[in-house]
């Protein structure tokens, strides 16, 4: 039996068709990049990345008015391990290890800046991990000072992921003084049984305290991360968590689906599969969450992101101004992303590059005055075309085929003849509408937007294994 739930908010609508969700709930990429990181090759190495940086600097100097850079710094350290986590991290209680890491980060800053020459303006800085607030206040000050010595840090978006368990009022105040105006807090679930099952004990009180202090120190946007599908989760229990989160009134909420991939992520082996909610119960939790968040006034931005109508993300969604990168949805114009630290991924021009994934490799490369690049890719004309298509679908729920034809000098239906046949199937299912010059994702299809985007992924079309990816829902 088919059950349909509608949730309507200003200028956006999402419709949940549980039968379609069950049918299309298959593994697939989240498309924070295209091609996805599993397509990166080691033939694109540090020398290739160095050449890209130097050429980019020559092509876009201060006279041309290139968009300012976006900078990302990966801090891998965590005090404890969360069993659900699939991030690149180093679990330790030895805080002396961060001092060494910061010394090497500064080397990477210097090497990279030298290759960029004059092109060093940045108006986006994002600290992720791991747990960036593993660093002490003084270490955070040192790192930002060093970053500012090598790049021109302009007013803009300064975001950091914080763990309420690792920050006190003084550290939050220090972050405000350093210019951080956006903070993202992991919550996942307030239920004590769920927290115990994933080894993340975090009270509502310390979460609320961190949010309140952050707002007092200039933070204009607070995001809370939630995860559904965790062990011991129930519909009733998650309903309570949603009630508590809504009382905190975060500006944004990210509602992620837990992907149980113990063969890929070792910590997940500590989660008992028998404790996970059934597929039907997980679907009920997701449906409840979307209903509750939209009824509370949150705009469904896309995929798993919600924002209050006044937030920049919601405004950008209404005005078709969203972009997508490795941090998820962004409101800023597409710009080069320079990433630092272990496993960090950069996007420069038509290339992606990823750093080495272990501290020992990272230190060894920098000891040799080499960029710590492990692998990457230089996009082909076909990659760039498909990236444009996928980005538009993921960010705007629509695609102007005429714009693609003009930008890439193709005839859309001829070039994508195989894809068009698949789109016709999705149209019959009610996920998209195909009109002259336009592909539109319907309210029924918005939860399944990854399914629509996957139509244009040539690597998946070749029958590549999808088990490395999470399911769509």
- For residue 303, the model assigns a pLDDT of 85
Contact predicate 287/15, CB 8 Å? no
- For residue 344, the model assigns a pLDDT of 96
Distance of CA 381 to the CA centre of its chain: 25
Topology classification of domain 1-35+380-473? Arc Repressor Mutant, subunit A (1.10.10)
pLDDT digits (tens, 9 = 90+) for 309-334: 999 999 999 988 888 888 788 887 67
**What's the pTM?**
0.93
Give me the residues paired with residue 348 across strands.
351
Q: Where in the chain is the domain with CATH 1.10.10.920?
A: 1-35+380-473
pLDDT digits (tens, 9 = 90+) for 3-34: 444 344 333 588 899 999 989 988 889 898 99
- Alpha carbons 241 and 462: distance in angstroms, whole number: 42
Q: Kind of pairing, strands 323-325 and 121-129?
A: unpaired
Q: Which two tokens stand for residue 353?
A: 């590059």
422-428: Cβ within 8 A, 24+ apart: 422/455, 423/452, 423/455, 426/451, 426/452, 426/455
Q: Which of the listed CATH numbers 3.30.470.20, 3.80.30.20, 2.40.50.140, 3.30.230.10 matches domain 39-339? A: 3.80.30.20
Q: Where in the chain is the domain with CATH 3.80.30.20?
A: 39-339
Contacts of 370 (CB under 8 A, 6+ apart): 46, 111
- Alpha carbons 105 and 111: distance in angstroms, whole number: 10
- For residue 4, the model assigns a pLDDT of 41
Angle ∠(388,391,393) on CA atoms, nearest 5:
110
- For residue 249, the model assigns a pLDDT of 97
| Blockwise average pLDDT, block size 10, the chain, 473 residues | 40 80 88 92 94 81 66 95 91 92 97 86 94 96 97 94 94 96 96 97 96 95 97 98 98 95 92 94 95 95 93 91 84 86 95 97 98 97 96 95 97 96 96 96 94 93 58 71
């Amino acid at each position: 039996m088919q059950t349909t739930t509608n949730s309507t908010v200003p200028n956006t609508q999402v419709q949940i068709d549980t039968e379609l969700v069950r049918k299309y709930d298959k593994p697939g990429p989240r498309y924070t990049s295209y091609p996805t990181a599993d397509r990166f090759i080691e033939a694109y190495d540090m020398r290739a990345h160095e050449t890209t940086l130097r050429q980019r600097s020559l092509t876009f100097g201060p006279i041309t008015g290139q968009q300012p850079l976006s900078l990302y710094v990966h801090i891998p350290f965590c005090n404890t391990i969360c069993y659900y986590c699939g991030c690149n991290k180093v679990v330790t209680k030895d805080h002396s290890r961060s001092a060494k890491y910061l010394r090497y980060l500064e080397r990477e800053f210097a090497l990279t800046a030298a290759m960029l020459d004059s092109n060093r303006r940045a108006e986006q800085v994002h600290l992720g991990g791991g747990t960036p607030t593993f660093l002490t206040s003084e270490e955070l000050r040192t790192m930002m000072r060093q970053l500012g010595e090598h790049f021109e840090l302009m007013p803009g978006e300064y975001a950091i992921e914080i763990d309420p368990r690792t920050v006190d009022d003084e550290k939050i105040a220090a972050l405000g003084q350093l210019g951080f105006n956006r903070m993202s807090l992991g919550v996942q679930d307030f239920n004590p049984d769920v927290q115990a099952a994933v080894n993340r004990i975090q009270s509502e009180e310390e979460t609320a305290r961190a949010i309140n202090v952050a707002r007092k120190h200039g933070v204009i946007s607070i995001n809370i991360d939630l995860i559904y599908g965790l062990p011991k989760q129930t519909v009733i229990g998650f309903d309570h968590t949603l009630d508590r989160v809504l009382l905190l009134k975060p500006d944004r909420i990210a509602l992620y689906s837990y992907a149980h991939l113990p063969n890929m992520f070792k910590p997940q082996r500590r989660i008992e599969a028998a404790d996970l909610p059934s597929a039907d119960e997980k679907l009920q939790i997701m449906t409840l969450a979307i209903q509750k968040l939209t009824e509370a006034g949150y705009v469904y931005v896309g995929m798993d992101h919600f924002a209050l109508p006044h937030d920049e993300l919601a405004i950008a969604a209404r005005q078709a101004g969203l972009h997508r990168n490795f941090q998820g949805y962004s409101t800023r114009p597409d710009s080069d992303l320079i990433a630092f630290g272990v496993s960090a991924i950069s996007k420069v021009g038509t290339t992606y590059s990823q750093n080495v994934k272990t501290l020992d490799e990272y230190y060894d490369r920098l000891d040799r005055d080499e960029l710590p690049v492990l692998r990457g890719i230089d996009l082909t004309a076909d990659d760039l075309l498909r990236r444009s298509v996928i980005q538009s679908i993921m960010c705007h729920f629509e695609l102007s085929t005429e714009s693609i034809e003009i930008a890439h000098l193709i005839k859309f239906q001829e070039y994508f003849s195989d894809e068009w046949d698949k789109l016709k199937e999705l149209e019959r299912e009610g996920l998209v509408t195909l009109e002259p010059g336009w592909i539109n994702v319907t309210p029924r299809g918005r939860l399944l937007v990854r399914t629509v985007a996957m139509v244009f992924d040539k690597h998946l079309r070749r029958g590549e294994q999808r088990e490395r990816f999470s399911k769509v829902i």
